[in-house]
Structure 1
Amino acid sequence: MTEEFYGLSAYTDGNQLRLAYVLGIEKKKAKSLIASGRTIPLPLKNVLFSFNEKVSEDDFRLNHPQYEEKIKSLAADVDLGMLWEMLEGEECKVFTLDELCDFYFSELSDYLKAGLFDVLSQDIVYFKRRLAEFTIRDQEQVEAILKSREKKRLQEEYEAELGPWVQSVLESDEDSTVEVPGKFKTFVGQLGNLIWLKQSSDASRFLDKLIGKSPLRLKAVEFLMKTGQISKDCDEHLVIAGIRPDFSQKLLAMAEELDFDSTGRNDLGEDFYCFSIDDESTSDVDDVLSVEYLENDLFKIGIHIADVSAYIAKASTLDLEAEHRATSIYLPTGTVNMFPAELATHKASLLPGSPKPALSYYATLTSDGELRSTHIERSLIQVSEKLSYRYCDGVLEGDEEAKEDLKKDLDILANLADELILKRQEKGAITFNRPENKITIVDGVVDITEVRAHSKSRALVGEFMILANNLGAQFCRDNEIPALYRVQEKSDEQVAMPETYDPVSFDAAIKCMKKSRMTPYPSDHAGLGLDCYTQFTSPIRRYSDLMMQRQLIAFLEGRDLVYTEDELLEIKSKAESRLGEVRDVQRQSENFWLYTYLEQSKIGETYLATVVNHLNGGLLVELDGLTLRLKLNHGKKLEIGTRLEVKIQLVDPKLNHAKLSLESILDE
């Protein structure tokens, strides 16, 4: 056998046929001169045959490209499909190269033999190769492979057109809308599924490959906005997170058909005076307040909560949508409601006008905030007035005129709220004093206003919502109604929240506090200074509040409870995941618009700031008035709490980046 291999020879290099000049056999290896000019030992199993044509070693060095070209030329004429058809009826299914040559060629040469092997070794359709033997594939296999190859060819042609078009869309002007050709609509639809359903697809993989290092979801949203699939008015952070800002036509139609049954409700009547206190722009009103004056200096305070359960049945289509959304989302760019606007801002919202279903919590209090009695009932309420925090603060401070009855009610509510807060503080309640900013955007221009830190009307509304939630939690606990309680263990250290906000003391106080959590077991809420606490008071805005409302109403009506403890825990788990996503979106959106505010109107201006942490290569500082924390590149490690004056040099909202310069250290 070893004598067969000498001179010009063909050998295999993977699936490639190569030419070599065999110089001799040494230790069961063919010592061979190859095309690169090197001499290597080839395994004998890789050497196919030696050519009958006698050429010298020098001829091989000079002419091997021509030999290879001749083989390639002959290989190009080989029709493997025809060979496969010739062999398909043969009983034998495995053939040697020589046998295949005998079938295919009427006259054979070494170059034809090499050409056939070259084609066979690279074939994936008709034959399977193992060393120098070839197995013929059956018809079903061949048809499947040919179909797959045709599909791949068409896909490559499609992508060759798609790539430049996608690139042109991404490079188009922000204000333009690119029409989607019919042949690319599937691609665009799949990118929509990436955003809304978080489904990967050929489209998402193609775009990911096309854009390189850019974030995939960010580019997909940009693409969908530029092709008109997503409104350019949508908050980008919301869309990137896959949260739909709108509702389907089916859900909108369902909301239009909703109505409630007033049977069994206490109709409070048109003369019952009650009012809401919210921001001027609020349209999804969950709660209203009322004051009744009793004998012996007692006050019956009504906290009336929109009864969303009167409209939305458990497991209905709208209910499942709300469960998925988990909460309404409040962003600088607008509100994304948990329910369609027809319900959230009209039918269920406690706005003045027509009678609305409510769940009314009553607390009879003394003038110093002592609780004498409580009562909960299903009611029918007609709201008298929609008031704003700004207006109510003005009335309470004597800066706004008001009807005598309203002023009296507000004074009573404010005084009682002060007493209730003091009682909770005596039990360890913590009052947070971090400033809040309201971000408004008009025609792309950002404005920042600080929410009044000591707003009396905000404090009184918050306090009576806390009272209602505490009463609801006690009612569930005392009547053994399965519920989700918000609990917080007492801190191991004393929590010292300063009266005047400073970021360092605030951070230290927060770090001392243990995290609150939801549980089916009633227990203390240390941060609120309460024996038990749940959340009922925002059923338009929070799905967990709607669940608690359903539980309580079912008990009041003597019906079977709506949820078991296991069901509550299952929905809680889903909601917590969603709420985490929502918090991230809100933080990202707020930060983006704060950075945009700096970019639009504060470049070159100075801010007072406080060092709150040390970072690699710099300091983390909080800007006064914005509670925005930014990196300041500074080599010197200043003490935490050091007061500085910094200048805004450069801002990139897309990257959440601002370049600051240190103007002065104020504490030196």
Structure 2
Amino acid sequence: MTKKKKPKKDSSQKKTYKGIVDVTRSGMAFVAVEGLTSDILVKQKNLNTALDGDEVLVDVIRQGRSMGRMEGHVTDVLIRKKTEFTGTIQLNKNFAFLVPEKGAFLPDIYIPENSLKDAKDGDKAVVKIVAWGEKTRKPVGEIIEILDATDTNDLAMKEILIECGFPLNYPEEVITELAAIKEKITAAEVKKRKDFRKILTFTIDPVDAKDFDDAISIRRLKSGLYEVGVHIADVSHYVLPATALDKEAEKRATSVYLPDRVLPMLPEKISNELCSLRPHEDKLTFSAVFQMNEQAEVKQFWLGRTVIHSAHRFTYEEVQDVIETGEGPYEQEVLLLNKMAQTMRAKRFSEGAINFSSQEVRFQLDATGKPIGVMIKESKEAHQLIEEFMLLANRTVAEYVSKQRVNRQPVPFPYRVHDTPDEEKMHVFAVFASKFGHKFDVNTPESIAKSFNSMLQLVQGKPEQHVLETLGIRTMAKAVYTTENIGHYGLGFMQYCHFTSPIRRYPDVLVHRILAQCLADEVKIDKLLEKRCKHSSDMERKAMEAERAGNKYKQVEYMQQFLGEEFEGVISGVAHFGFWVETVDAKCEGLVSLHNLPEEFKHSESEYALIGQQTGRKYRIGDKVKIRVVAANLAKRQLDYDLVDGGAADRSTQRRATDRSTQRGATRGKPKAKTGQARGRKPKTSRKKK
């Protein structure tokens, strides 16, 4: 009996995956594939025109030994993450090239003569890639905007936006659609809605705000209860699904806030005019209306489309003044709403929400955008008034939709979720907090929240407050959008969504549409909803990166005038190559490099510190130090500091201590010297958003 031969494996059958390209600083790329434990390595020559952030198909060309990393070749680019780039024009006789900024890992972009506009050799420009050469596989582009190189601030802010993937202008089809939108609110449209125009309604926003997307109404009912309405701009009335406007809003997903400008998600005609709830104008809104008593207990609620007429536009400062003095426009209503908000806030924290305080640093700018001062904004009761009613509306909408069913299944919905803290990070933080006398119960998520609130209350006004709050936030997961509802840990809510800012966030537009379908009992399942949620979360992170880069640019620009001067600071971060110090007054963060310290230091993650190898000296997050500003590089958006006390200015004393320590240690065996210290940049961190 002859044995059957085993069929040979067909090596020509390649595995193909879909994923997102991540290009590293070295130019090497990796494709992240959902479900794979390890990314697929792709060398530059195998990227096939794919750029950072693109969604691609990749064939595996090498499996990797002993379960090592797979290597692949990009076969197709499915979605371009970014199509606009900044650089310098290199002009030839009948064509030009855009030479991208360093580190873009992008070939020079060919620009034909008919797409040059009035560009001159050496101009800075924004170019949009419109095609890739079939044979050359090189990009072909057209000039979108020629940048004014003499206006360094404007140039820097625009480069930051482009760098983070946000286009500066809207496509022609969007502008065409925009012009066709009818501005007048018809009587027929008003009849479809609840009319709140005769009920006292007002907005409360920052002093420089132009897009007012929420308003509050209040009146006393015959029952003795109060009717409080949370009215949100009805963006979904004007921005219809699958239109050019909608596609562009989805692509951007969020407005971006830089120190001197806002790049709106929607064109200004919508964000600042049609949908902005400006005073003394009829406006279309989507509302959550509550019947409440003075103790802020909700007895009944209603959700639906409305029309309002705002009677007054408050700034936060004006409302805060009414709260503190008891005098001002509509003081009785403002004081009652504030009392309700503070009651809801106290109840929220008692039920498990975590009470992290926040400071917002903003620059005072002159007419040219140059920073001339720093303002630190803290959350006061006026801010909390709006926050609590917006939270109530968001939570109520999410709870309502979560109870709806289609074919006995929950309605797919873009929840805003926040996971429980990372167990390992939490244990490290608990050990650190214990050194300040704070005991953490890390057995359950509920006990962790209680421990946090206890600590945050006890550290108020103490030297360690800033460091414990900062590190506590870093233990937290990032809030994201998803159809998989796991609740919002930080807020202590089982159901939560974003309903209250559709002018500046695309998930809120999706929430409005799905809510409208539920109210009409006409739910249409969106099979791409989870993908839209993920994209919105990604773009939110990109917007935060842009905001951090813009703020960092202003920090560097502001500190340029103080080169050589000394400041009090607090250590705000540590790494193996040095530590960051944030100045106390201006909150400007710079790096103290290990190269400028008088001995070798080891990074201790558990202590959030650098520890001297010979003297045992520690530089720990939260420590107060004195620094000198030694470099302010605007191009790199980087500040460099020297340590004054115990650093470069005090090296002779430190060296003597080091020499004595080394001599004492000679008989015990010298520590091995490190071959070198790497200088790097601070890891990116995300600001917590609800």
The equivalent residue for 2:401 is 476
Instruction: Provide TM-score, normalisation by structure 1.
Output: 0.64
Contact 1:277 / 1:461 at 8 angstroms: preserved in 2?
Answer: yes
| Structure 2 residue 245 is matched with structure 1 residue 318 | yes
* Cα distance in 2 between the residues matched to 1:611 and 1:163: 55
Q: CA deviation at 1:223?
A: 7.7
| Structure 2 residue 394 is matched with structure 1 residue 465 | no
Q: CA deviation at 1:402?
A: 1.4
Q: 2:159 aligns with which of 221, 236, 255?
A: 236
Task: Name the SS for the 1:386 alignment partner.
Answer: strand
* Cα distance in 2 between the residues matched to 1:263 and 1:413: 29
Task: Deviation per CA, 1:45-84: give whole Å up to 9, x if none.
Answer: xxxxxxxxxxxxxxxxxxxxxxxxxxxxxxxxxxxxxxxx
Task: Deviation per CA, 1:210-246: give whole Å up to 9, x if none.
Answer: xxxxxxx9xx999865599x98596221123342222
The equivalent residue for 1:86 is none
Contact 1:503 / 1:612 at 8 angstroms: preserved in 2?
Answer: no
TM-aligned CA distance change 1:168 to 1:527, over 3 Å: closer
The equivalent residue for 1:485 is 415
Q: 2:631 aligns with which of 650, 654, 657?
A: 650
Q: 1:595 aligns with which of 556, 561, 564?
A: 556
Q: CA deviation at 1:435?
A: 1.5
Q: CA deviation at 1:385?
A: 1.1
Identity score, percent: 23
Runs of 5+ consecutive residues of structure 1 not aligned to the other structure: 1-158, 171-179, 209-216
User: Could you tell me which amino acid in structure 2 is paired with residue 251 of structure 1?
Assistant: V
Q: 1:574 aligns with which of 535, 539, 542?
A: 535
* Cα distance in 2 between the residues matched to 1:387 and 1:607: 38
* Cα distance in 1 between the residues matched to 2:96 and 2:531: 45
TM-aligned CA distance change 1:585 to 1:563, over 3 Å: farther
* Cα distance in 2 between the residues matched to 1:329 and 1:438: 15
Task: Name the SS for the 2:642 alignment partner.
Answer: strand
Q: CA deviation at 1:502?
A: 3.8
Q: CA deviation at 1:309?
A: 1.1
Contact 1:285 / 1:349 at 8 angstroms: preserved in 2?
Answer: yes
Runs of 5+ consecutive residues of structure 2 not aligned to the other structure: 1-89, 102-110, 406-410, 424-441, 443-447, 600-610, 612-617, 648-653, 655-690
Which protein has the bigger strand share? 2
Contact 1:192 / 1:224 at 8 angstroms: preserved in 2?
Answer: yes
TM-aligned CA distance change 1:364 to 1:661, over 3 Å: same
Contact 2:295 / 2:340 at 8 angstroms: preserved in 1?
Answer: yes
| Structure 2 residue 177 is matched with structure 1 residue 254 | yes
* Cα distance in 2 between the residues matched to 1:188 and 1:609: 46
Q: 1:548 aligns with which of 504, 511, 514?
A: 511
* Cα distance in 2 between the residues matched to 1:515 and 1:184: 43
Q: 2:305 aligns with which of 378, 383, 391?
A: 378
| Structure 2 residue 209 is matched with structure 1 residue 279 | no
* Cα distance in 2 between the residues matched to 1:160 and 1:316: 38
The equivalent residue for 1:561 is 523
Q: CA deviation at 1:264?
A: 1.0
Task: Name the SS for the 1:452 alignment partner.
Answer: strand
Q: CA deviation at 1:517?
A: 3.1
Contact 1:433 / 1:499 at 8 angstroms: preserved in 2?
Answer: no
The equivalent residue for 1:536 is 499
TM-aligned CA distance change 1:341 to 1:160, over 3 Å: closer
Task: Deviation per CA, 1:364-403: give whole Å up to 9, x if none.
Answer: 233223222211121111111111011111111118x513
* Cα distance in 2 between the residues matched to 1:382 and 1:489: 39
Q: CA deviation at 1:193?
A: 11
User: Could you tell me which amino acid in structure 2 is paired with residue 570 of structure 1?
Assistant: K
* Cα distance in 2 between the residues matched to 1:630 and 1:551: 46
* Cα distance in 1 between the residues matched to 2:544 and 2:132: 24
Q: CA deviation at 1:639?
A: 3.2
The equivalent residue for 1:623 is 583
* Cα distance in 2 between the residues matched to 1:349 and 1:528: 28
| Structure 2 residue 295 is matched with structure 1 residue 332 | no
User: Could you tell me which amino acid in structure 2 is paired with residue 267 of structure 1?
Assistant: D
| Structure 2 residue 348 is matched with structure 1 residue 424 | yes
CA RMSD of the aligned region, Å?
A: 4.0
The equivalent residue for 2:116 is 185
* Cα distance in 1 between the residues matched to 2:587 and 2:641: 15
The equivalent residue for 2:368 is 443
Q: 1:398 aligns with which of 325, 335, 358?
A: 325
* Cα distance in 1 between the residues matched to 2:95 and 2:174: 38
* Cα distance in 2 between the residues matched to 1:485 and 1:169: 39
* Cα distance in 2 between the residues matched to 1:398 and 1:551: 43
**How does 1:81-480 map onto structure 2 within 5 Å?**
161=92, 182=113, 185=116, 195-197=127-129, 232=155, 235-259=158-182, 261-269=189-197, 271-294=198-221, 298-398=225-325, 401-403=327-329, 406-441=330-365, 442-480=367-405
Contact 1:246 / 1:336 at 8 angstroms: preserved in 2?
Answer: no
Contact 2:232 / 2:285 at 8 angstroms: preserved in 1?
Answer: yes
Q: CA deviation at 1:301?
A: 1.6
* Cα distance in 1 between the residues matched to 2:501 and 2:203: 13
The equivalent residue for 2:436 is none
The equivalent residue for 1:507 is 470
| Structure 2 residue 599 is matched with structure 1 residue 639 | no
Contact 1:595 / 1:652 at 8 angstroms: preserved in 2?
Answer: yes
Task: Deviation per CA, 1:579-610: give whole Å up to 9, x if none.
Answer: 332222221111111211111x4334433212
Task: Deviation per CA, 1:414-459: give whole Å up to 9, x if none.
Answer: 1111111111111221122231112343313214443431421111
Which protein has the bigger helix share? 1
